[in-house]
Amino acid sequence: MRVIRDTYGWIDERFAVTPLLEKNVTKKMVPRTLSWAGCFGGLAFFTFLVQVFTGMLLLMYYKPHPEAAWDSVTFIKSNVTMGWLVQRIHAVAANLMIALVLMHMARIAYYKIYRKPRELHWMSGVFLLLLTTMMAFTGYLLPWTQLSYWGAKVGTEIPSAIPIIGQDVVEWVRRGKAISGETLGFFFSLHIWILPAVMSAFMGLHFVMIRRTGISRPL
Amino acid sequence: MSDHHEHEHDVACEPLTCGRRRFCQAAIGGATAITVGTVVYPIVAFLKLPVRLGDAKPVEVPLERLVPGQAYYADFQGQQVIVVMAEAGPKVFDAACTHLGCNVVWDTAHSNFHCPCHGAVFSGEGKVVSGPVSTPLREVPFEVKNGVLVIS
């Protein structure tokens, strides 16, 4: 304990961490009337972090190839110690994240928090919802099961409703006419790098905005 | 405010409150340790080397497939092994050259092993003939069951 306190003191003396922590965490003032419903956004972010870390672990064994994907996921679930737990946490956190994001949005909409000066919070939030659903959709294909395959097939069919370019969009998303190894590779790259990177950037903006305008003060 | 904060640990207290404080600190510390443990344990367990079912698979070579003077290459637990039929019977060698670990190749014309990396040469019995090596090739134990050579 003394070692920890001394190490902290050494760092604190040089970088003045304590005033920073007090200002942003321990002595940060929030509106007295703020209810526990104000936690949904933060909890959604927490589930995101859980998925980032469990995702890193799953990536150690996952193989994004149509002949190896299902086997590698089965390997994680049955051969890797605690693999079943890590895989389950990743999938359950994904479901929870969607639910929490929707609850967060419902609260913002109900209290009309999206009004000036917080319009951009809402807009970036809507974009984040879209990214979250895309994360869920691309992740669903990766285990390469029957459910994944047909889920991806039905999901990628949706853009065909767009007039004129619809069919081209479907083929672009599928990387061909049908769901194939190309689709798997594309969804994999979206799921582990492209979408999380874009999402992190938008989350950063989303959080900076809240710090600038402050939390909405209920009546 | 900050002055009060810094000296918090030095404040003298009644024995009763001191006991309570220690109890609370231990309770919070214990709960934190359990929480951190339940997160850290699965992660450490996950990082452990998993048992691959393929690892335990033995290599089986029917003896009639072995031709005297020629070599049979097989993969045993991810490492190449070479079976050669000598006059006294079959022998199995680890293909890793004892110099720097390249896979040696059986030279049928000279009945010896040749390493493509630095030119080491081993005799048909795995003994050093020439090259930058001093250790003979590692022999791999095997058994013969019903006319089948088994490496396990």
Sign, CA torsion B64/B67/B72/B76? positive
- Between A183 and B9, whose confidence is greater? A183
B-chain residue closest to A81, CA distance: B46
Those residues of chain B whose CB sits closer than 8 Å to some CB in chain A are: 41-43, 45-48, 50-53
For residue A97, count other CB atoms closer than 10 A to its CB: 21
CA–CA separation, B95 vs B26, rounded Å?
A: 59
CA-based nearest distance B46→chain A, Å: 5
For chain A (length 219 residues), average pLDDT per consecutive 10?
A: 92 94 88 86 97 96 95 93 95 97 95 92 96 96 95 94 94 93 96 97 95 79
Higher-pLDDT residue of B54 and B27 is: B27
Q: Which residues contact A129 (CB under 8 A, 6 or more apart)?
A: A101, A102, A105
Contact with chain B for residue A20, Cβ under 8 A: no
Per-residue pLDDT, averaged over B45-67, amounts to 78
State whether A82 and B51 contact (CB < 8 Å): no
Strand B71-76 vs strand B79-86: parallel, antiparallel, or unpaired? antiparallel
pLDDT, position B55: 60
Tokens of A200: 């992190």
pLDDT at A147: 93
Q: Do A81 and B46 touch (CB under 8 A)?
A: yes
- Taking CA–CA distances from A53, the nearest residue in chain B reads B43
**Helices (H) then strands (E): counts for chain B:** 2, 10
Whole-complex ipTM: 0.77
Q: Please give the distance of CA A211 from its chain centroid, rounded to a whole number.
A: 21
pLDDT for B107-140, tens place per residue?
988 888 999 999 899 988 889 999 898 899 998 8
Enter the CATH code of domain A36-213.
1.20.810.10
**Contact yes or no for A86 and B51 at CB 8 A:** no
Q: Which of B42, B48, B52 sits opposite A85 (nearest CB)?
A: B42
Asked if A57 has any chain B CB less than 8 Å from its own CB, the reply is yes
Chain B residues near residue A85 by CB distance under 8 angstroms: 42
Per domain, the residue ranges of chain A are 36-213
Q: Do A75 and B48 touch (CB under 8 A)?
A: no
